[in-house]
Structure 1
């Protein structure tokens, strides 16, 4: 009887002690083991030499959200809620209840906004139609003029008590307002960051010379590439001696974008040979436009600013524009892209998106005339989060690509974002050696040289296949 009595007393005490020392959100220590999802682990993203001070580079917020969701689930099932058995044993219930300690986690974020909540943008609307909108209660929030005033775009605020849908329809109904649209947001196509292999693996996969000095002179001189991305760290050692120009167009009143994504993409393009993150075309000139800003935890660019960024690069006379970003379809952006391709003869190359095989098409990659690039790993397998669809044109290395980190050193990068620079570099070289070719001709030539992957012929996973540049400067 004594043993039974002590067992009844000891068991609650034992459970209470395990509750007191176990991590919040976990079951009793002796009942459950812990498991980690390595796909999004920050530890995999750290620099192998531990010399990068920016430990948050490319961190996937899904980890924090997942932890919050698990924590909330445990709360709902009662595994962590309610008073501790220790307090029950010693009469703690009668004391004043204390506020729960902070877990250090923020509530799970909801879906990111797809467009600005009260803005309409329109491209090259006539003065007469603009005035009619102003007379009807619209107001101009911002006006941008590029290319010597020949291209004008407007950011408008709808009349009070008018839905955004109705406001867009009203602008589109005007003779020159047909391209009006919401001010959509575009985000960076970075993915999870798994670390393995050597930094030259991506070069070898497509036949790019691992020593860029092996490229014939005509492949490395006079090339001028543009990119629209986040800001970048111009003082990174990978850019020492590089021909780099950075322009910031994002709203100066907003928090500046981080330097992680832009630094990595730029380094893949023009990182210097003797650094830890050598690029594809270190002797080329890169004009980088920062069109991104931060809103809370969201890092984004809006369509209105993207249009200005594209024309800014067009005026810089680049031959190729790298767009390692994606978002929804937008008619104003579509009109600008078509104009830049057709009247300026500039090649635009964009990321396929990292939203998964069942996701809707990602833009601008899905626009007609833009080369949509997906990502593969070193075994030529598709990146697990890559979008799929008929708009996928070609594949390039995009899983565990070695590139510069935002502060110093280098990291492994994964996502369709990091596949785009390989095609931007290849396109720039083809255009440099064959100035008589149109943008479409260049794209078709790249497709004809590709290594077919997946089903025979072009498909919705790999497009025409893997970029192949083994004869990049020999017969192009």
Structure 2
């Protein structure tokens, strides 16, 4: 999947590039942050650290002091994800008051087009709203020192460059974030200033050059959910849909995150291109671009998932050198909408994405044909007439998503009608509550990586019937890749068989027979797991025949309705003749 940044470089004003001073490497490096992938990575860090300052377990990150030799060892370790050798120090910058903002003269045309001075007059500056910018990072330049920077890009051990740096080397993310939150920068007669300058902005770097790996995008979305960000800007895209990213988007939506994305720049003067993903996904606010005359930019993609348009052509943007450059693209239209959503979120902190979108539509200028259209969406938002009457729009047929911490649905309204209320199955409920976890498993499979058989694949396999079609294909392909031997009431195998698969509810026992006898001592109880609806089922007792031809699983518990998977992990499993067994065994049954 080729994820692209949506900008068009059409020119740039001149600026001075100042070379950074070079320093000799010290023998010891303090305040190094290292992200580990697993327990082996954590152990390697602990063994090589001169001193451990803090272990951020929730983020799989350790801060400490390391020698050059230790960093070289860890950089080549496959269990280490990121080494940040020069961690950013964040300082509190001066925050703007209403008087400060209203005293700014000669705002750029793009800022004026949003009617931004009206919400500023009302005291709305983005204060207290947490906004994520998933992009190329933000440069260390004046006017952006209040931005919190994180990188999800993995360092390449084959190079001397620290690819995991949090800073922008592509001249993209700095401009995008600057539209939202830059402190004022003079550009001749114009002043470039963020539309929501007091927002708490988090730069979440996912790009290495022009490409972003799915795993880094997912990590950034996951971090956004875990750290309670409420607005997310994604000025990136792909022409092809991706089931993994779509699931991550749904998980973010369910957590209350409002996502804004660029529609893409693939249209031309002779042909129109459809909206790219993630802007084309339901639950994402898709943004196209217009020029100074409010005419759709020729490159801006179109379709029924364009929600709004915003300034996106010949814009003056903050550059990675600290100067001002001129650029175009839907990448830079999207953060205008992100900033306006941020101001509305400050005023209405409990507003849903649908309510915020409806409110923005209320203050949008209808462009193109009358009403919503595929070129301009709902039009060009302008907050010049914004009124804080304390009322939010009523949205018809708004999807109900649980708020964070309310996954059991206890906070949802009660239906007082006598009609039966459709309820989710246990499997569907598990999927709904574990969107991101499932997404990471599927993403690993899609990228050709191995996942844990007992802890990840087996629960995923138990959910197979309730997965979407593209996800089923991934699970099926992985099953084939690891050569799982499967038997069920409808699927027969020449290597394994099992009894009572159609009557497990009453029998509560099954005998699993192996065509090639196993060595009983090599099959330990922890190597046999049973899952239903994504969750492990306990209470089964394992007994093994001394001949090695069969094992029996028995329970005294009542088995709930659903699809079950018994998985036998072949790790250390051997045949009676001590030949290693490398393929897993899966026994499937359904309790109705």
Shared fold per TM-score greater than 0.5: yes
2:218 and 2:231 map into 1 onto residues whose CA distance is 15
- What RMSD over aligned residues (CA atoms) do the two structures have, in Å? 2.7
Name 1:203's counterpart in structure 2. Answer: 111
User: Per the alignment, do residues 425 and 473 of structure 1 end up closer, same or farther by CA in structure 2, a change over 3 Å counting?
Assistant: farther
SS state at 2:365 partner = coil
Q: How does 1:326-365 map to 2 (within 5 A)?
A: 326-327=237-238, 328-342=240-254, 344-356=255-267, 357-365=271-279
Structure 1 residue 52: Cα displacement: 4.3
Unmatched tracts of structure 2, length 5 or more:
1-6, 19-56, 61-105, 391-592
Question: Which of the numbers 151, 157, 166 marks the counterpart of 1:248?
Answer: 151
Question: Which of the numbers 279, 287, 310 marks the counterpart of 1:373?
Answer: 287
User: Per the alignment, do residues 361 and 283 of structure 1 end up closer, same or farther by CA in structure 2, a change over 3 Å counting?
Assistant: closer
Question: Which of the numbers 322, 344, 347 marks the counterpart of 2:233?
Answer: 322
Structure 1 residue 228: Cα displacement: 0.1
1:301 and 1:464 map into 2 onto residues whose CA distance is 30
SS state at 1:423 partner = helix
Name 2:133's counterpart in structure 1. Answer: 227
- The answer to whether the 8 A contact 1:431-1:442 is kept is yes
User: Per the alignment, do residues 274 and 148 of structure 1 end up closer, same or farther by CA in structure 2, a change over 3 Å counting?
Assistant: closer
2:384 and 2:184 map into 1 onto residues whose CA distance is 19
SS state at 2:204 partner = strand
Structure 1 residue 147: Cα displacement: 7.4
1:252 and 1:337 map into 2 onto residues whose CA distance is 26
User: Per the alignment, do residues 398 and 217 of structure 1 end up closer, same or farther by CA in structure 2, a change over 3 Å counting?
Assistant: same
Structure 1 residue 316: Cα displacement: 2.3
With CA pairs under 8 Å and 6+ residues apart, which has the higher RCO, 1 or 2?
A: 1
Post-superposition CA distance 1:347-388 (Å, at most 9, x none): 000000000053243000000000000000110000111111
- The answer to whether the 8 A contact 1:322-1:349 is kept is yes
Q: Which has the higher helix share?
A: 1
- The answer to whether the 8 A contact 1:314-1:340 is kept is yes
How high is the TM-score relative to the length of structure 1? 0.56
Aligned residues: 286
2:373 and 2:232 map into 1 onto residues whose CA distance is 25
SS state at 2:288 partner = strand
1:222 and 1:345 map into 2 onto residues whose CA distance is 16
SS state at 1:288 partner = strand
User: Per the alignment, do residues 398 and 366 of structure 1 end up closer, same or farther by CA in structure 2, a change over 3 Å counting?
Assistant: same
Post-superposition CA distance 1:303-342 (Å, at most 9, x none): 2221111111222222100011111211011001101101
1:371 and 1:475 map into 2 onto residues whose CA distance is 24
Name 2:173's counterpart in structure 1. Answer: 262
- The answer to whether the 8 A contact 1:269-1:421 is kept is yes
1:358 and 1:244 map into 2 onto residues whose CA distance is 36
Name 1:278's counterpart in structure 2. Answer: 193
User: Per the alignment, do residues 473 and 422 of structure 1 end up closer, same or farther by CA in structure 2, a change over 3 Å counting?
Assistant: farther
- The answer to whether the 8 A contact 2:130-2:229 is kept is yes
Name 1:399's counterpart in structure 2. Answer: 313
SS state at 1:341 partner = helix
User: Per the alignment, do residues 228 and 271 of structure 1 end up closer, same or farther by CA in structure 2, a change over 3 Å counting?
Assistant: same
1:466 maps to 2:380: yes
Q: How does 1:29-40 map to 2 (within 5 A)?
A: none
Name 2:123's counterpart in structure 1. Answer: 217
Post-superposition CA distance 1:42-87 (Å, at most 9, x none): 7x6231xx32439xxxxxxxxxxxxxxxxxxxxxxxxxxxxxxxxx
Question: Which of the numbers 238, 244, 252 marks the counterpart of 2:143?
Answer: 238
Post-superposition CA distance 1:381-401 (Å, at most 9, x none): 001111111110101111122
1:400 and 1:207 map into 2 onto residues whose CA distance is 19
Q: Which has the higher strand share?
A: 2
2:213 and 2:249 map into 1 onto residues whose CA distance is 15
SS state at 1:289 partner = strand
- The answer to whether the 8 A contact 1:377-1:397 is kept is yes
1:261 and 1:351 map into 2 onto residues whose CA distance is 13
Question: Which of the numbers 46, 58, 64 marks the counterpart of 2:12?
Answer: 46
Once the two structures are overlaid, the 10-residue window that deviates more, 466-475 or 220-229, is 466-475
- The answer to whether the 8 A contact 1:238-1:275 is kept is no
Question: Which of the numbers 435, 444, 468 marks the counterpart of 2:349?
Answer: 435
How high is the TM-score relative to the length of structure 2? 0.45
- The answer to whether the 8 A contact 1:147-1:312 is kept is no
User: Per the alignment, do residues 472 and 413 of structure 1 end up closer, same or farther by CA in structure 2, a change over 3 Å counting?
Assistant: farther
Structure 1 residue 216: Cα displacement: 2.9
Runs of 4 or more consecutive aligned structure 1 residues displaced over 4 Å after TM superposition: 146-149
User: Per the alignment, do residues 147 and 429 of structure 1 end up closer, same or farther by CA in structure 2, a change over 3 Å counting?
Assistant: farther
Structure 1 residue 473: Cα displacement: 6.1
1:282 and 1:431 map into 2 onto residues whose CA distance is 14
Post-superposition CA distance 1:252-295 (Å, at most 9, x none): 1187362400111111111103554311122221001000012x
Name 1:291's counterpart in structure 2. Answer: 206
Structure 1 residue 209: Cα displacement: 1.7
